[in-house]
Amino acid sequence: MAEVIWGLATSHVPAIGAAMDRGKTEDANWKPLFEGYGPAREWLAEHTPDVAIVVYNDHANGIDVDIVPTFGLGTADRYEVADEGFGPRKVPDVVGDPELSLHLLESLVDEGFDLTVFQELDVDHGLTVPLSVWTPDPGEAWPCPVIPLLVNVLLYPQPTAARCYALGQALGRAIASYPKDTKVAILGTGGMSHQLAGSRAGFVNPEFDQMFLEAIESDPAKLTSLSREDYIREAGSEGIEMIMWLIMRGALREQVRRVHSTYYVAASNTAAALALFDNRVPQPAV
């Protein structure tokens, strides 16, 4: 039986990838962010999964904004790195796992999540920056195959936090029903608070972020009770990306162990964070 071994939440700010690609991680303004990743990276290097599911949003790079699926799943055997205007990042293309993708797709559709299927997809910073946060020096290949799970956080109406958490729970069941002994990791990406345009451009809300960072571990219901308007008001129009962390959390067990977390303001215009959870911990008796 397949098993989820860990969950990682991380911001996917493009400037984080650019700082790595251009050798700026030791610069004074970047150093604290990358130092904050250290303990998580060490633990992750000892816990390589067989496959990772990356919950992310495309930013009109891999898919046109005239087609905006609420939820989508990649089923390809390979995903190229998208050109976001400056040429593709010089990181490895992403190898897929079509067999697990098709199992997840069938299981999730049967549970009422009618996902859009991506048989072809170029992946943007939303997916590649989290892979770089996890594995700064991938060499020729990322540590394992990856399945992209896409969420619309760009255009109104975004899915609710509660729906995202329910999708995560269904994803957890789908993984558990996969007959192979596959170790799966789940990444939830985006956030934390940020707003890139409009009269509140540059808005961050550290108090809300800290509340979210705490509750994602032990009280996800507090976060699923918030409306999309609550997220946009409290975290900014792009801070609503945090609902994708709830898909990751929903796929984990009720009790998880926080391995490490870190928070940094501001990466680009954005409050950035990482939170890593070990899913293989004893559960409370029922």
193 binds ligand DHB (CB under 6 A): no
Supply the minimum distance, in Å, between the C-beta of residue 201 and ligand DHB: 10
268 binds ligand DHB (CB under 6 A): yes
- Biggest CA–CA distance in the chain, Å, is 53
Name the token pair of 117: 């299927």
Residue type, 135: T
Going from the C-alpha of 52 to that of each of 15, 70, 183, 259, 266, the distances in angstroms are 23, 21, 9, 18, 28
Supply the minimum distance, in Å, between the C-beta of residue 242 and ligand DHB: 10
Among 158, 205, 269, 279, binds ligand DHB (CB under 6 A): 269
Chain mean position to CA 60: 17
Residue type, 233: R
* Stretch 200-239 residues interacting with ligand DHB (CB under 6 A): 238
Cα–Cα distance measured from residue 113 to residue 107, given in angstroms and rounded to the nearest whole number? 9
Among 270, 271, 274, 277, binds ligand DHB (CB under 6 A): 270
For every residue of 129-177, DSSP letters joined together read HHHHHH-S--TTS-SS-EEEEEE--SSSSPPPHHHHHHHHHHHHHHHHT
CB 252 within 8 A of CB 9: no
Supply the minimum distance, in Å, between the C-beta of residue 183 and ligand DHB: 28
Task: Give the nearer residue to ligand DHB in terms of CB position, either 117 or 154.
Answer: 154
Supply the minimum distance, in Å, between the C-beta of residue 151 and ligand DHB: 13
14 binds ligand DHB (CB under 6 A): yes
Supply the minimum distance, in Å, between the C-beta of residue 59 and ligand DHB: 5
Annotated active-site residue 125? The verdict is yes
12 binds ligand DHB (CB under 6 A): yes
- Buried b / exposed e along 17-27 (16+ C-beta atoms within 10 A): bebbeeeeeee
89 binds ligand DHB (CB under 6 A): no
Name the token pair of 222: 């507090």
Which residues have C-beta within 8 Å of that of residue 28, sequence separation ≥ 6? none
Q: Which of 12, 59, 125, 260 is catalytic?
A: 125
Q: Applying CB under 6 A, which part among 95-103, 161-169, 188-196, 198-206 lies near ligand DHB?
A: 188-196
Which residues have C-beta within 8 Å of that of residue 157, sequence separation ≥ 6? 228
Q: Which of 12, 59, 103, 194 is catalytic?
A: 194
Q: Binding residues for ligand DHB, how many (CB under 6 A)?
A: 13
9 binds ligand DHB (CB under 6 A): no
Cα–Cα distance measured from residue 57 to residue 127, given in angstroms and rounded to the nearest whole number? 8
97 binds ligand DHB (CB under 6 A): no
Q: Applying CB under 6 A, which part among 10-18, 31-39, 154-162, 216-224 lies near ligand DHB?
A: 10-18
Q: Applying CB under 6 A, which part among 6-14, 96-104, 161-169, 223-231 lies near ligand DHB?
A: 6-14
Annotated active-site residue 59? The verdict is no
Which residues have C-beta within 8 Å of that of residue 86, sequence separation ≥ 6? none
Among 10, 50, 59, 256, binds ligand DHB (CB under 6 A): 59
Catalytic machinery residues: 125, 194
Residues in contact with ligand DHB by the rule CB under 6 A: 12-15, 59, 190, 194, 196, 238, 241, 268-270
